[in-house]
Amino acid sequence: MIPSYVLKGIFLDTPTPGELRCREGYALCRGGHFAGFYSALPQDLAALPLHDFSGQLILPGMCDLHLHAPQYSYCGTAMDLELLDWLQRYTYPEEGRYRDVAYARRGYTNLTRDLLHSATTRICAFATLHTDATLELMRQLSEAGIRGYVGKLAMDRNSPDFYREVTPEAGLAETRRWLDACTHGEYPGVLPMLTPRFTPSTSDAYMEGLGQLSREYGVAAQSHLSENLSEIEWVKALCPGTAFYAESYARYGLFGGEQPCVMAHCIYCPEEEDELIRRNGVFIAHCPTSNENVIAGIAPAARYLREGYHIGLGSDVAGGHTLNLFAVMASAVQVSKLRWRYVDKSQSPLTIPETLYMATSGGGALFGKVGLFEEGYAFDAIVLDDSALLNHLPFTPGERLERYAYLSDGRPQAKFVDGRRLF
Amino acid sequence: MIPSYVLKGIFLDTPTPGELRCREGYALCRGGHFAGFYSALPQDLAALPLHDFSGQLILPGMCDLHLHAPQYSYCGTAMDLELLDWLQRYTYPEEGRYRDVAYARRGYTNLTRDLLHSATTRICAFATLHTDATLELMRQLSEAGIRGYVGKLAMDRNSPDFYREVTPEAGLAETRRWLDACTHGEYPGVLPMLTPRFTPSTSDAYMEGLGQLSREYGVAAQSHLSENLSEIEWVKALCPGTAFYAESYARYGLFGGEQPCVMAHCIYCPEEEDELIRRNGVFIAHCPTSNENVIAGIAPAARYLREGYHIGLGSDVAGGHTLNLFAVMASAVQVSKLRWRYVDKSQSPLTIPETLYMATSGGGALFGKVGLFEEGYAFDAIVLDDSALLNHLPFTPGERLERYAYLSDGRPQAKFVDGRRLF
């Protein structure tokens, strides 16, 4: 049990999309939860320990709804390659090396260290298809204090021989071994998520089995959806009888409803797909840096947000080149401007408060009461040091946030998760 | 006279667009110029001082062909505003304050310090319409060792009353006073450039007078060109008898030919305008971050580069949010991908070596023999510390450059300009 304490600073959060709430004062942490905000410190709290960050911005910890953990080592590399070349020359060979747990340990140590010092407090990560390496990632994240979901990949087709499960049965047996090793609190704060890489990589039989495991273990699912047009055509060819991409997951119970579900990208969803996303409460992981880097396109994130879909941000490392969700926020604004300019003038561009919403309360809802400084919410907070960005101009807290998003390296000065101070 | 010395490291430069040359060894600096490259140190140079950066990447210093010096203080602020609001609420009021030289000194000190520690060695900057503040900027840049051109703005129409010259005659008299104060080497390495802000801000009579001053003083010009569609329409209305935007400069001798000329943006140039740009050897300042932030669009930079136009990169602070030309390089690649996806599939996206070419040899040609590690070129070099980006993977120098562009803060470890080590 974490002892109660008080955190002082300028608290920014987003109770609704587009609303930037700014409160200067004292936040009470009790039992790992936010337990009250005070503009002046009440007498009965004066004896509690005080973390004093007067004048500094404090934000909710950020949630990265989509990243590929084993790809972190080479993010920002070979972005000039065509996507298919990039997958064949970088992604599959590197992910394949994670069969060696010692190798995986090294790569995941690198990732965990940098995640720890980023703005991110909670994640949904893809690992590789190797059970033991995936458990190693879960162990490291849990020990570092990062919260969230990790997925052992399910891939039994259309992948290179050296990086594929040989039959659905073999894959399902391994998935079960994995679930048995991590669903009982073995890795506090870190839970499994079923992870068919995407429909082309995962046969119907494997999908069906994953759906059964989802119900049996009460485990959520994550995957990719409607990222690019040729992928969508491919899924149509692979899945006769489906009316749209999402049905290839939904027909096996892997598209929200009972269990939470996260789908990355959603750039080209037809209307019926949108309806199913909304009806099933599926979380959209909007990954603007990745969608730009791999030339997928620009998702209609502004529309999703303003129409009330569940939507958060994803770094999608290493299609995305950075773990820094502040940079992803700025990128989301920027590409939404180009979408307005070249694709669709019906939605005005995203704003920084809207992207902060996605990075915090929007994505945070996947994890429960996460992403706001409100009674009962998890006490996840990051403290920003923007002193290098201050000058003779009188910036408002909102302007300081914006400059931090566009100009900083996104590494906070202090970080709290479930009330525990990580640094 | 700078004494000769030797610089050791991994030298990357771009003799032609798209070609990344990588040489590990020793570069000789003699008289401020590059005077030879050696993979092993010759006996007769062994007695010279050696700057040893073994294993580190060394690049030519970068050239920022377009930036607004007084806007630096608020870059990354209010990017959610409409362009016109942004100009009225931020740009004009802040630029207006530079009438106070003490205020200008403070703002320019901020800029000069950060430019000094950036990758940039040479610039083309817009100042404000105030002569004394502009001279203050030239003084600071010169003393810091930054090279290039600075322009006192010429604006006598379509600007707020508090920030406009009252008549063309008054503006021209002030311009002459400015030229008389800075064309005789008063600010070593920093020269004036005539700077009508853009055609809507500068009357025909003022333009005509600037053209005469350009010839009389032998001074180059810079401005904006074809940045957005309503601007182009506006120029057409303001300048009857011109066939396209560039003619509004060219008819007064302010569009290259005799004198060098830099035009920022060039997003929507019709074919005849392109022809004039090419014929007159006009330098295009490609500003991808700004073009995205202010929703101007995406320039056909890949085509310009591959068809042999003079083209360099511009940060366009504060439409662009950052001085970091590595970030601008990455952004140029990224938006060229979206241009390929949504606008024009005839040009494949830009590559990092192509954007490095623009940032160094492409833009460098404006300043003479600048931007390459070749005999007779100015010895401008930056040494990168990418140790935080190294890990267990065996990155090539090209991959290290790419990761540095996408992931670093772009602040080199050491910097040389005309052979002088600045830090």
The tens-digit pLDDT sequence of chain A (423 residues) is 789 999 999 999 999 998 999 999 999 999 999 999 999 999 999 999 999 999 999 999 999 999 999 999 999 998 988 888 888 889 999 999 999 999 999 999 999 999 999 999 999 999 999 999 999 999 999 999 999 999 999 999 999 999 999 999 999 999 999 999 999 999 999 999 999 999 999 999 999 999 999 999 999 999 999 999 999 999 999 999 999 999 999 999 999 998 999 999 999 999 999 999 999 999 999 999 999 999 999 999 999 999 999 999 999 999 999 999 999 999 999 999 999 999 999 999 999 999 999 999 999 999 999 999 999 999 999 999 999 999 999 999 999 999 999 999 999 999 999 999 999
Q: Are B193 and B175 in contact (CB under 8 A)?
A: no
Residue B360 gets the label, from left (phi > 0), alpha (psi -120 to 50) or beta, of alpha
B174 Cα to chain A: minimum distance (Å): 28
Q: Are A222 and A262 in contact (CB under 8 A)?
A: yes
Whether B113 contacts chain A with CB within 8 A: no
How far, in Å, CA of A334 to CA of A316, rounded? Answer: 17
Q: With 90 as the cut, is the pLDDT of residue B273 above it? A: yes
Region A62-367: CATH code: 3.20.20.140
How far, in Å, CA of A133 to CA of A131, rounded? Answer: 6
- Beta strand pairing call for A310-313 and A283-286: parallel
Beta strands in A77-167 (DSSP E): 120-126, 147-151, 153-154
Whether A105 contacts chain B with CB within 8 A: no
Name the segment(s) of chain A with CATH classification 3.20.20.140.
62-367
pLDDT of residue A86: 86
CB contact under 8 Å between B77 and A349, yes or no, is no
Tell which wins on pLDDT, B325 or A2. Answer: B325
How far, in Å, CA of A372 to CA of A73, rounded? Answer: 31
In whole angstroms, how far apart are CA B382 and each of A156, B300, B415? 48, 29, 5
Residue B9 gets the label, from left (phi > 0), alpha (psi -120 to 50) or beta, of left
Q: Of A242-256, B78-92, B117-131, B260-274, give the lowest mean pLDDT range.
A: B78-92
Closest by CA position to B112, among listed B91, B127, B97: B127
Mean of pLDDT values over B367-389: 98
* CATH fold of the domain at B5-60+371-421: Urease, subunit C; domain 1 (2.30.40)
pLDDT of residue B118: 98
In whole angstroms, how far apart are CA B401 and each of A145, A310, A328, B69, B374? 33, 38, 21, 28, 20
List the single best residue of B338, B344, B400 to mutate versus A (max A Cβ within 10 A): B338
Whether B330 contacts chain A with CB within 8 A: yes
Query: Helix (H, G, I), strand (E, B), or coil: what is residue B310?
Result: strand
Burial of A271: CB neighbours in 10 Å, binned 0-12, 13-18, 19+? exposed
Whether B80 contacts chain A with CB within 8 A: yes
Chain A residue numbers with beta carbons less than 8 Å from the beta carbon of B321 are: 330, 406-407
Whether A352 contacts chain B with CB within 8 A: yes
Which residue among A106, A335, A352 places its CB closest to the CB of B392?
A106
CA B245 to chain centre: 21
B399 Cα to chain A: minimum distance (Å): 6
Closest chain B residue by Cα to residue A400: B77
How far, in Å, CA of A291 to CA of B340, rounded? Answer: 13
pLDDT of residue B82: 81
Q: With 90 as the cut, is the pLDDT of residue B85 above it? A: no
> Could you report the per-residue pLDDT of B229-246, keeping only the tens digit for each?
999 999 999 999 999 999
First to last CA, chain B: 18
A338 Cα to chain B: minimum distance (Å): 7
- Beta strand pairing call for A381-383 and A414-417: antiparallel
List the single best residue of A334, A339, A342, A345 to mutate versus B (max B Cβ within 10 A): A334
B44 Cα to chain A: minimum distance (Å): 40
B281 Cα to chain A: minimum distance (Å): 29
CB contact under 8 Å between B403 and A76, yes or no, is yes
Whether A234 contacts chain B with CB within 8 A: no
Mean pLDDT of chain B: 97
Q: With 90 as the cut, is the pLDDT of residue B86 above it? A: no
How far, in Å, CA of B47 to CA of B54, rounded? Answer: 18
Strand partners, A417: A420
DSSP one-letter string for A315-363: --BTTBS---HHHHHHHHHHHHHHHHHHT-TTSPPP-HHHHHHIIIIIH
CB contact under 8 Å between B338 and A77, yes or no, is no
- Beta strand pairing call for A5-13 and A21-30: antiparallel
pLDDT of residue A87: 85
pLDDT of residue A88: 87
CA A187 to chain centre: 19
Chain B residue numbers with beta carbons less than 8 Å from the beta carbon of A80 are: 333, 349, 351-352, 402
pLDDT of residue A215: 97
Between vectors from CA B145 to CA B143 and to CA B151, what angle results, nearest 5°?
80
Mean of pLDDT values over B284-294: 97
Q: A-contacting residues of B 124-183, CB under 8 Å?
A: none
ipTM above 0.95, yes or no: yes
Structure-token pair, residue B288: 């991808």
pLDDT of residue B142: 98
Chain B residue numbers with beta carbons less than 8 Å from the beta carbon of A349 are: 80, 295
Whether B106 contacts chain A with CB within 8 A: yes
Whether B352 contacts chain A with CB within 8 A: yes
Name the segment(s) of chain A with CATH classification 2.30.40.10.
5-60+371-421
How far, in Å, CA of B51 to CA of A88, rounded? Answer: 40
Q: Are B291 and B299 in contact (CB under 8 A)?
A: yes
A314 Cα to chain B: minimum distance (Å): 17
State whether the Cα torsion A208-A210-A214-A216 is positive or negative: positive
pLDDT of residue A132: 98
> Could you report the per-residue pLDDT of B380-415, keeping only the tens digit for each?
999 999 999 999 999 999 999 999 999 999 999 999
Whether A73 contacts chain B with CB within 8 A: yes
B47 Cα to chain A: minimum distance (Å): 39
pLDDT of residue B84: 81
